[in-house]
Amino acid sequence: MAACEELSFNVDHGYLEGLVRGMKAGILSQTDYHNLAQCDTLEDMKLHLQSTDYGKLLSSSEGDLTVSLLDSKLRENLVTEFSCLRSNALPPLSTFLDYISYSYMIDNVVMLITGALKNKDVSELLPRCHPLGAFDQMAAVGIARTPAELYSAILVDTPLGQFFQDAVSECSLDEMEAEILRNKLYKAYLQSFHSFCKSVGGATKDVMCPVLEFEADRRAFIITVNSFGTDLSSTDRSALYPSCGKLYPGGLKLLAQAEDHEQVKAVADCYPDYKMVFDDPEPGSDFKTLEDRFFEQEVKLNILAFLQQFHFGVFYSYIKLKEQESRNVVWIAECVTQRQKSKIHNYIPIFQGTS
Amino acid sequence: MGVSESEESSLLLDEKLLRFMEQLELLEEKRATFNSLIEQGWFSMSKARYTMGNKQVSALQYASEIEPLVCVQTRTLDNGEMEFTTERCTQTCSKESGKDQRAIEDIGPQEEGVRRRNRPKREIAESTSSDKAPAGKRDHNAQQDPLKWFGVLVPQSLKHAQSSFKQVIELSAEIAALQTAVLSARQELKHSLQNKHTPGERLSNSAGQGSRHNTSAESKQEEAEKQLSATDSQ
């Protein structure tokens, strides 16, 4: 029977999909953003957030309300929701959700390493790590001196161990090495995630693979653009490009040779999806950074996940959309505190009109 | 004879006043640029946080003990014109390795402005510690563009923030120099006014014709004093 998936999905995962769709309904709407943008202080924002699904998120906070605190609280909220989903998940959804958490683990590892380089105390760094990416051996990460040591002594037993094939090296860990390590781990992670989604098949594959391909291509572009003017050579750079995207292999080769923004734009012009991102903005509209435009595209792709049922993509998309929402709210808060109201509308609304 | 002397001194006074006003205007302009650059810098940092994540651009990224890359050096100008004994910052904003421990601004979030080395200007100023400086700087040379603290592949907005703050550092030295220049010009003016007062009184006492001359001199003096009190309040 071809359509088996729909018949059996709800047995294991129906409750959680229902939960996610309910949570998705609580994502802030245009009106909410409009109200938040009208605020003059963070206290006003706190008041407005109380009428949304966030409820009493900020009212229990002691001390001054700062943007940093707001960000931490929003993150806590997301972590609670994710933990609720993860603790009730059965395989293969549990593996899928674990994959989502690995990207945060990679960020935490790099943060701990760079913190150790600056002689920061582990007790100072640990609370600032992303809770979604927590794992047992975190406290020991700062001790490693080379990626090889990091792998063999600390991370080999963690889920991140599987991503270390390319990243093991004997160079001592400094800022450049940490950055290279981050990108190599992320490359391996993305490729692994992509093949996992392919193996699950069905609607999950149809929804997740385009999203992950976009992610891979985005990383390739951003790495290229940000590496101009730094010490990262093109050969080093090309080792960091994930190969599970549309740009592989021709586009990636061209990107590796690009030396300035114009050449990158020329590469993007060959792909209709990315041509739009690199296009010059219409005159009169706000200047958007490259990253902003990529975020916009990402939101569009993630919204599509909710159009189909009985697949795991909704979980991934929900997490990513919630993250974008946190970014939006924090952006509005920064504009409010710095009194830069003109730029306040640079957030990316998630559901235009009714969701 | 007495009349032309006082005319001369009035002209001199006018000149000084004009110069003072020009410096004041320049100072205001620089202050306005300074403020907008600082705003820009902080805002670019917020944009960088939006892209990279809030905790990626925060106090976690810099060490608790840092060596400054830009320092301010003061030198007393020995200008024959003005005989001042007070020490003040020079107009030639030379930045050299002295010791500067201030500069962690507590505006908004607890971050610090980015600092850089100003190598080319080293040749301009004579400094006492120039022997130690090159050696020390070469050590640090291998290190730290502070931009690297946030990662090697940082977004453009962070680079914009760094360049805004660099310009702020330059400007702040200029503003400090201008401020002291303005203050000294003000002093000058005060002195000149006082000096002008006494001949003026002598004139009115000796001749009797002084009344109209006096009132015109007095009105000028009043204007100048109003200006002085205005700069006082600044």
Give the predicted TM-score (pTM) of the model.
Answer: 0.80
**Cα–Cα separations (whole angstroms), residue A157 to A153, A325, B134, B199:** 9, 34, 48, 93
Using the beta-carbon criterion (under 8 Å), do B153 and A125 form an inter-chain contact?
A: no
- Residue B234: its pLDDT value, please? 53
- CB contact under 8 Å between B54 and A330, yes or no, is yes
* Candidate from A119, A179, A338 with C-beta closest to B46: A338
Residues facing B95 on adjacent strands: B72
Rounded (to 5) percent helix, strand, coil in chain B: 65, 0, 35
Query: Could you report the average pLDDT of every consecutive run of 10 residues in chain A (355 residues)?
Result: 74 93 92 92 90 82 81 92 95 94 93 88 88 89 86 87 85 87 94 95 93 95 91 89 92 91 91 87 75 92 92 95 94 92 87 59
CA-based R_g, chain A, Å:
21
| Angstrom distance (rounded) from CA A53 to CA A61 | 17
Give the model's pLDDT for residue A353: 56
| pLDDT recorded at residue A144 | 84
Facing residue for A176 by CB, picked from B53, B152, B159: B152
| DSSP tag of B72 | B
Cβ burial, residue B158 (10 Å; 0-12/13-18/19+): buried
pLDDT at B221: 56
Tokens of A158: 């963690």
Per-residue pLDDT at B229: 59
Looking at per-residue confidence, does A21 or B206 come out higher? A21
Mean pLDDT score across all residues of chain B: 67
pLDDT tens for residues B37-73? Answer: 999 999 999 999 999 988 888 887 887 777 777 777 7
- The whole-angstrom separation of Cα A119 and Cα A112 is 10
Please report residues of B whose CB lies closer than 8 A to that of A68. 54, 58, 109
Interface test with A, best of B35, B38, B54, B158 (most A CBs within 10 A): B54
Yes or no, beta carbons of B43 and A338 under 8 Å apart: yes
CA distance A187 to A163: 8
Rounded Cα distance between A236 and A217, Å, is 17
Q: What is the dihedral of CA A206, A212, A213, A219, to 10 degrees?
A: 170
Inter-chain contact B153–A179, Cβ cutoff 8 Å? yes
**ipTM score of complex:** 0.89
Across the interface, whether the CB atoms of A120 and B151 are under 8 A apart is answered no
CB spacing of A230 vs B153 below 8 angstroms? yes
Is B99 in a helix, a strand, or coil? coil
CA dist., res. A68 & res. B7, Å (int): 64
Q: Is B53 on the interface with A (CB under 8 A)?
A: yes
Per-residue pLDDT for B9 more than 60? yes
Report chain B's terminal Cα–Cα distance, integer Å.
39
A63: left (phi over 0), alpha (psi -120 to 50) or beta: left
- Which tokens belong to A353? 């009109």
In Å, how far is B225's CA from the nearest CA of chain A?
Answer: 38
8 Å CB contact of B153 and A128: no
Q: Using an 8 Å CB-CB cutoff, list chain A residues near B155.
A: 222, 226, 289, 291
Phi and psi for B95 in degrees, rounded to 5? -110, 130
CB contact under 8 A, A334 and B148: no
Contacts of residue B49 in chain A, CB cutoff 8 Å?
330, 334
Predicted local confidence at residue B81, as pLDDT: 34
The closest alpha carbon to A277, from A211, A214, A230, A328, belongs to: A214
Please check whether residue A291 touches B, CB under 8 A: yes
Candidates B43, B53, B109; nearest CB to A340? B43
Q: How many CB pairs under 8 A join A and B?
A: 85
A330 contacts B61? CB cut-off 8 A: no
Quick check: B143 contacting A, CB < 8 Å? no
**Please, which residues 50-79 of chain A have a Cβ atom closer than 8 Å to chain B?**
66-68, 71
Nearest to A327 by CA among A298, A306, A353: A298
pLDDT at B212: 53
Q: Is B64 at the interface with chain A, CB within 8 A?
A: yes
Q: How far is A334 from chain B (nearest CA, A)?
A: 7
Distance from CA of B122 to the nearest CA of A (A): 25
User: A226 vs B43: CB contact, 8 Å cut-off?
Assistant: no
What is the predicted pLDDT for the residue at B111?
37
pLDDT of B101 over the 80 cut: no
CA distance A163 to A191: 10
